[in-house]
Amino acid sequence: MAFEDLKKEVNLIISKTQLSAKNRLTEICEALRTSIPYYNWVGFYFANHETQTLHLETYVGTPTDHIIIPFGRGICGQVAVSNENFVVPDVTSQDNYIACGLDVKSEIVIPLFKDGKNIGQIDIDSDSLDPFTKEDEIFLAWVNEQVVTIL
């Protein structure tokens, strides 16, 4: 599915006000994972700035033990500190990588901002090497802009 078509689906999910924010986030994760072949694991982490940790709110894909990640640790933890997108074409090239599964080959993490503060992120793992493009970054930043409206 093209990103433009997927935007319509994300907007439809966002508009389901009868659902909780968490349920809508889960539906967004599922829509992304099933629509984009190289999105094999999709989840949202949210920051606890007091404890300097990220907490997995919802995801779709292979189960993970990484439900709490300290700021600075792994790709997600680094994004919590840098406030910048992080695209990893090959996870084996990263020293500070937390392996979520043996099949994961690449990862993209886009921070989620509310009122100028990094409150979390969308995290996507792929079982393919180097699948993510600038278009993925732009699209996922747009997804986060929609998500923040329900938080």
Q: Place 94 in a pLDDT band, splitting at 50, 70 and 90.
A: confident
What's the structural domain count of the chain?
1
Q: Is 67 helix (H, G, I), strand (E, B) or coil?
A: coil
Contacting residues for 80 by C-beta, under 8 A, at least 6 apart: 47, 54, 69, 71, 72, 111, 118, 121
30-88 pLDDT, tens digit each: 999 999 999 999 999 999 999 999 999 999 999 999 999 999 999 999 999 999 999 99
Cα dihedral across residues 2, 3, 7, 13: positive or negative = positive
Whole-number pLDDT of residue 1: 62
Structural domain boundaries enclosing 68: 3-150
User: Residue 59 belongs to a domain with what CATH number?
Assistant: 3.30.450.40
pTM exceeds 0.85 for this model: yes
